[in-house]
Amino acid sequence: MPPKTAADPYKKIGPAKLLKIHANMVRARLLEERLIKMSKGGDGFFWIGGPGEEAFNTALGFQIKKGHGLEHDFLHFHYRSSAILLALGAKPINALRQMRSVAADPYSKGRSFAALAVMPEINLVPMSPTIETQYLTSIGTGIAQARAKTDAVTIVNGGDAGSAEGDFHSCLVWANRPALPLPILIIVTNNGYGISTAFSTQHGEVHISDWAKAFPEMPGKTVDGNDLLASWLAIEEALAYVRKNRRPYLLEAKASRLYGHSSSSGANRIPEADCIALFEDELTARGLAKKADLLKVWDAESEALAAAHAQVKTEPFPETESVWEDVFADGLPPSYPVKGGS
């Protein structure tokens, strides 16, 4: 436990926000567990998500300059980002709708699988099942924001396995072009695995953030993503640098992967460090919360999710002809082939 000094970051964040952070972490965990339950219970399909990353992702979500347009942060996220989205105001029921692929799924109209949100109102660009292409699209919003007079930045995240792809390295190169450095916070969440393959067996770099050493003006840092406070401070520092200097920052967060890769690997609980338990211990040890009150948060969020799930089960699936919507922005040409053959 850090010392309770005047500079104690816990005091700086303040008890009210700390409890809000806690509630978001709990909501994200319970949402993921509900999605797993739906996937296993035949009430949806493939599950993938971010249980274990709630501390880092909530700390990130609460520090994003949220909104639409170049004056706000642009977000290029991968599929373990539910805690960020909830911190930004995403409604849990919409994730359930996407899991069940009902017509009311606001992210994809029943087309994409769970965890792939799209929210233009907060500059969240289309999330993709690909593990690394977001590092490329972040270049584009980064260019737009580098041209604009704003302190808004682009934020991109991905996993450790995806950092082997060229797209991650493309992002580093483009973000550090002397001709136009880009204001991008480049995040890698390192949970130590790509599906079943251990990072340590495939990567010789000590830290993924060490790639920053190739670019003299791009700081790189590795932080314990299971530690809410350390994550908060690292993100605060990184965002401040990017906002002010209009240059990239590479931040690696080591985090747990509490339910494995996805439903494909069983989605069963794995005994790794639990960031929520660690945070609750800190809150109670510091006298910022009572255990009983924290448990009430779990109960309330759980009830809300159960109610949302019950509602989603009553909602209709999409009409089949809706697949022809959104193929082109100006509509489907009358003679476009729609029969699927002869």
Partner 1 sequence: MANMAQAIRMALHYGEQNLGVTEIFGEDVGPPLGGVFTATQGLSRAWNSPLDERGIVGAALGLAWAGQRPVAEIQFVDYIFNTIDMLKLCGNGLWSSGGKYKAPMVIMTPTGSGIHGSLYHSHSFDSIASKIHGLKVVCPSTPLDAYGLMIAAIKSDDPVLYLKPKALLRAKGEELIPGEPADEKLLHEMIDAPLGDRSKWKARWPKLTDYSVEIGKAKVSHPGTGLTLVTHGRMAPVCLDVARRFAADGRGSVEVLDLRSLIPYDWEGVKASVRKTGRVVFVNEETEITNFAEHLIRRLVDEMFYELKVRPRLLAAKATPGVPLSPGLEYFVQPQTAEVERAAAEALAEPA
Contact flag: residue 185 with partner 1 (CB under 8 A) = no
State the DSSP code for 180. S
Alpha-carbon distance of 225 to 36, in angstroms, equals 23
Which lies closer to partner 1 via its Cβ, residue 34 or residue 109? Answer: 109
Task: Choose which of 12, 17, 91, 177 interacts with partner 1 (CB under 8 A).
Answer: 177
Task: Choose which of 56, 77, 79, 107 interacts with partner 1 (CB under 8 A).
Answer: 107
Which lies closer to partner 1 via its Cβ, residue 130 or residue 302? Answer: 130
Task: Choose which of 147, 213, 269, 296 interacts with partner 1 (CB under 8 A).
Answer: 147
Residue type, 295: L
Contact flag: residue 139 with partner 1 (CB under 8 A) = yes
Three-class SS state of 114: coil
For residue 204, CA distances in Å to 140, 201, 223, 252, 291 come to 30, 8, 19, 16, 42
Binders in 200-219 for partner 1, by CB under 8 A: none
Name the minimum Å distance from CB 73 to partner 1.
12
Tokens 């990184």 belong to residue: 238
Contact flag: residue 89 with partner 1 (CB under 8 A) = no
Sign of CA dihedral 108, 50, 139, 230: positive
Rg (CA), the chain: 20
Which lies closer to partner 1 via its Cβ, residue 94 or residue 209? Answer: 94
Binders in 319-338 for partner 1, by CB under 8 A: 325-330, 333-337
Strand extents, DSSP E, the chain:
74-76, 154-159, 184-190, 193-194, 197-198, 220-224, 249-254
> Of 84-92, 113-121, 263-271, 275-283, which segment contacts partner 1 by CB under 8 A?
113-121
Binding mask 245-274 for partner 1 (x = CB under 8 A): ------------------------------
Phi, psi dihedrals of residue 119, rounded to the nearest 5°: -140, 90
Q: Output the six-digit token pair for 277.
A: 């338990």
Contact (CB, 8 A) for 87 and 24: yes
Contact flag: residue 93 with partner 1 (CB under 8 A) = no
Name the minimum Å distance from CB 222 to partner 1.
25
Burial class (CB in 10 A: 0-12, 13-18, 19+), 130: middle
Crossing angle of helices 15-40 and 275-285, in 10° steps, is 150
Note the Cα 16 to chain centre separation in Å: 23
Which lies closer to partner 1 via its Cβ, residue 170 or residue 302? Answer: 170
Q: Output the six-digit token pair for 241.
A: 């640098």
Task: Choose which of 106, 151, 233, 298 interacts with partner 1 (CB under 8 A).
Answer: 106
Name the minimum Å distance from CB 340 to partner 1.
12
Task: Choose which of 92, 142, 159, 194 interacts with partner 1 (CB under 8 A).
Answer: 142
Task: Choose which of 8, 12, 46, 173 interacts with partner 1 (CB under 8 A).
Answer: 173
Burial class (CB in 10 A: 0-12, 13-18, 19+), 23: middle
Contact flag: residue 140 with partner 1 (CB under 8 A) = yes
The binding site for partner 1 (CB under 8 A) comprises 69-70, 74, 76, 105-109, 111-112, 116, 118-120, 125-126, 128, 130, 133, 135-145, 147, 154, 166-167, 170-171, 173-174, 177, 179, 325-330, 333-337, 342
